[in-house]
Structures are given as C-alpha cells and as structure tokens.
Amino acid sequence: TRTPVNVTVTGAAGQIGYALLFRIASGHLLGADVPVKLRLLEIPQGLKAAEGTAMELDDCAFPLLKGIDITDDPNVGFAGANVALLVGARPRTKGMERGDLLSANGGIFKPQGKAINDNAADDIKVLVVGNPANTNALIAQAAAPDVPAERFTAMTRLDHNRAISQLAAKTGAAVSDIKRLTIWGNHSATQYPDIFHAEIAGKNAAETVNDEAWLADTFIPTVAKRGAAIIEARGASSAASAANAAIDHVHTWVNGTAEGDWTSMGIPSDGSYGVPEGLISSFPVTTKDGRYEIVQGLDINEFSRARIDASVKELAEERDAVRGLGLI
C-alpha cells in the first residue's frame, strides 16, 4: 500500500476550504488510488469551525483519508507537507489601500513561506489561492530560499476554466473540445485570457470566433469580472468553483496535461515572453511527472502583447511595493 501524501490546507474553515477538503479526501486532488493525510491550518478563531469540518470529514468515511490534524501553528501545519494549498488570506476591507492589503498578507505569507522552508517535505508543491495570489506566492517563495522557486505557484486555473466555459457558450462547442487556452499575467482584473492559440475541435479558436470586438468588449471583461458577477448573483464569493480550480491545478501539475493540450498556471517567470524573471505570472504550461514547462515559441500578436504587458506591469508594481515594505 502507498504511503499517504500529506496535504496541508490553510484557511480550512473558510468557504473555499469547505468546498475543497471533501474533494481532496475523496481522491480528486491526486488520484483515486492515492491515500492522503490532511493538515488544517487556521488562525485561533478558525480552529473550532475547522474541528467541525473535520467531524464531517470523519462522517464521510472516505477510504483514502488516513488522518486529519488541526493546528494554528504553521511549523506544525507544514511539517512533512508534500502539497500545500494556501487558501487563507486577508481580504481587502473597505477603505483599505493596496499597501495595507499587501502588508496584511505579507504578515501571513512570509511566515508561512518560512515554515514551509523549515518543515515541509523535499518534494513540496505549493499552490497559493488566497489573494492577491501571485504576489502572496512571491512573498512565500522569497521566504523559502531552500525550496526550489518553481515549487511556488499561484492559481489562475479558475480564470482558465471560466474562459473555456465562455468560449464554449459563444461557439456552441463542448468544453472538452476546447484546448490550448491561455491565461497570461496576474490573477486580477488585468489578466489576459488568450484564444489566439486556442483550438476548438482542432480549429483555431480566434478564427472560428472571428470577432475581435467580442473578444475585447465581451469575452475578456466577462472572464476578468466573473468573480464580481458571482458575488452580485449569489451574495457570496465563488467558493465551489475556486475549490474545483485548485483541485484541477494540483491534479494537472501532479498527473500531467493531455497530449496536445496545455493549462495555465501562475509560476515564477524564467524571462519567457518578456516577463521579467522571478515575477509570478500566469503562462501556458505543459506538465509531466510532477514538473511543468512553459510552452515556448508562440507568436504573440499586437492585441495580445499590449494586454500581457499591462498585466505584467501590474505584477512588477506589486513586487516593487512588497519589496518596499521589506516583505521580499
């Protein structure tokens, strides 16, 4: 029998945590034959609710779930972790400036990065979900000098999945027929969902759509503002779809992309496509054997270049701000 994989989830008592933990425990994160041990990391105020969720996890009698620990100590929470899902973050509250938001999150992600550095397993893989996800990932990565930088990733898979869904609705295609879509840049309103290299049932998506006004005025803003539209409709933020995207991100990272397809992940740039090295930016990637590679050699047209550059500029500004605050 396989040794269980240790999966740490921060913010376990939150909305996304509640939608995420049951799917991890039922085998959707890593595979239907991979046993897991869960470690739930919360702040003291969240511990009781996390215990309630753990009771429900017990009550599911998941065959793959080999244990649940709950803690408010990052050193305990990340001890031996093979996969860490950093979901807990400080949301922007009314009147909060960007600097306040970045420093509040620095206070979370810097110590968590250090605790990962000091305690996690050698093969640790980190996904940051908590916003601002790319820059929080950068802060955690900078605090973990002994962990290879490429193990720190930020979630743009929800944007990727939203874009596939919008494109399927526009063209009448099945979501499973859409391949090679890319989210570039930051998980924010400046993100750029790119269909110029995407395919719909083997045909170029941009040529199939053949409507640049729809791209610029409908598709891109609909994908970028989908989070706000969900809040408006549901009265609460998107939690189940975010949890689903976190599952997809890690599952693809561990188990590989399909032949001929790729996915989108926020990863430390190696300088590809003019994105300054070290920024955690979303790229098209293929994955295999637990490693990812940026898809190289794509032609970037003017329409795409301007939008990628704008989102990357925002990431550089966030990096400069956290550098100014001494967080990296």
Annotated binding site for substrate: 92, 98, 131, 162
Residues between 164 and 193 that touch ligand NAI (CB under 6 A): 187
Annotated binding-site residue numbers: 11-17, 92, 98, 105, 112, 129-131, 162
Residue 63: asked if its preceding bond is cis (omega within 30°), the reply is no
Catalytic residue among 160, 187, 197, 249: 187
Give the binding range for ligand NAI (CB under 6 A) out of 7-15, 196-204, 211-219, 302-310.
Answer: 7-15
**Site residues for ligand NAI, window 14-33 (CB under 6 A)?**
14-17
Q: Binding to ligand NAI by residue 113, rule CB under 6 A?
A: no
Compare residues 238 and 269 and give the one whose CB is closer to ligand NAI: 238
Kind of pairing between the strands at 83-86 and 5-10: parallel
Contact at 8 Å (CB) between 314 and 190?
yes
In this chain, which stretch among 1-9, 129-137, 257-265, 272-280 interacts with ligand NAI, using CB under 6 A? 129-137
Sequence-distant (6+) residues with CB within 8 A of 68 are: 37, 38, 39, 40, 54, 57, 58
Instruction: For residues 217 and 212, give the distance between their C-alpha atoms in angstroms, rounded to a whole number.
Output: 8
Q: Tokens in use for 249?
A: 């991100």
List binders of ligand NAI among 284-323 (CB under 6 A). none
Q: Which of residues 209-248 bind ligand NAI (CB under 6 A)?
A: 237-239, 242
Q: Are the C-beta atoms of 64 and 34 separated by less than 8 Å?
A: yes
By CB under 6 A, is residue 85 in contact with ligand NAI?
Answer: no
Q: How far apart are CA 229 and CA 245, in angstroms?
A: 18
Which of 138, 162, 159 has the alpha carbon at shortest distance from 150?
138
| Binding segment toward ligand NAI, per CB under 6 A, in 124-132, 273-281, 285-293, 304-312 | 124-132
Tell me the residue type at 120.
Answer: A
DSSP 196: S
**Which residue in the set 91, 145, 221, 260 belongs to the binding site for ligand NAI (CB under 6 A)?**
91
Eight-state DSSP code of residue 218: I
* Alpha-carbon span 62 to 179, nearest angstrom: 33
Cβ 94 to ligand NAI shortest distance, Å: 15
Selected binder of ligand NAI within 5, 28, 46, 142 (CB under 6 A): 46
Closest residue to ligand NAI in the complex (CB): 14
Q: What is the DSSP letter of 45?
A: G
- For ligand NAI, the closer of residues 14 and 113 by Cβ is 14
Min dist CB 237 to ligand NAI, Å, is 5
Q: Helix (H, G, I), strand (E, B), or coil: what is residue 111?
A: helix
Tokens representing 166 are: 């919008």
Annotated catalytic, 187? yes
Active-site annotation, residues: 187
Which residues contact ligand NAI by CB under 6 A?
A: 10-11, 13-17, 41-43, 46, 87-89, 91, 108, 129-131, 133, 155, 158, 187, 237-239, 242
